[in-house]
């Protein structure tokens, strides 16, 4: 009887965890469709952008829309300067691209993987092809040029 009770508790716990994970994924998807910037951790990065643990030899983009990834830190003044620009662009281009951000203080492995030494560093990822990295607090016009030209091919 005790084993049955333990099995029941474990089942309830697993169900609760799976529901919360599904809810989180739906929240991120809905944030992107509403034109918001989405924060990524390593697990999200692996499923939404690039699974470097599975594909160690070549870049394979996991997303279905081009994206921009802002490697930033909360304490960084230039990062704070471009945050509202990225938020505007996420709203303006919500049908065409997704804008992510990765806090390098929290995600040291991603920081090392991309060799981030100065911030903000921005990774422009087309739906097909190789990504391009840019550094510094870019003006909105440069973001628009990169989105329209490199990411969307307009």
In what order do the strands lie in the sheet containing 67-72?
38-39, 98-103, 67-72, 121-125, 132-135
Please state, for a pLDDT cut of 70, what percent of the chain lies above it.
79
> Is position 79 annotated as part of the catalytic site?
yes
Mean pLDDT of successive 10-residue segments in the chain (154 residues)?
Answer: 43 40 48 82 96 91 96 97 97 96 97 96 96 96 97 92
Which pLDDT does position 8 carry in this prediction?
41
| Domain 35-151 CATH class label | alpha beta
> Is position 67 annotated as part of the catalytic site?
no
Global pTM reads: 0.79
The CA distance from 102 to 104, in Å, is 6
100: Cα separation from own chain's centroid? 4
* Catalytic residue from among 79, 104, 138, 151: 79
* Catalytic residue from among 76, 83, 137, 152: 76
Structure tokens at 43: 């697990």
């Amino acid at each position: 009887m005790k084993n049955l009770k333990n099995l029941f508790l474990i089942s309830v716990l697993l169900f609760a965890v799976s529901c919360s994970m599904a809810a989180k994924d739906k929240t991120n998807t809905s944030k992107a469709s509403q034109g918001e910037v989405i924060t990524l951790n390593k697990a999200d990065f692996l499923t939404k952008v690039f699974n470097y643990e599975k594909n160690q030899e070549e870049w394979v983009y996991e997303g279905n829309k081009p994206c921009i990834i802002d490697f930033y830190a909360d304490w960084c003044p230039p990062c704070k300067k471009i945050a509202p620009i990225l938020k505007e662009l996420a709203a303006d281009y919500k049908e065409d691209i997704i804008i992510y951000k990765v806090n390098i203080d929290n995600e040291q492995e991603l920081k090392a993987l991309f060799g981030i030494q100065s911030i903000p560093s921005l990774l422009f990822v087309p739906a097909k092809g190789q990504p391009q990295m840019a550094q510094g607090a870019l003006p909105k016009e440069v973001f628009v040029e990169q989105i329209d030209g490199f990411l969307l091919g307009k």
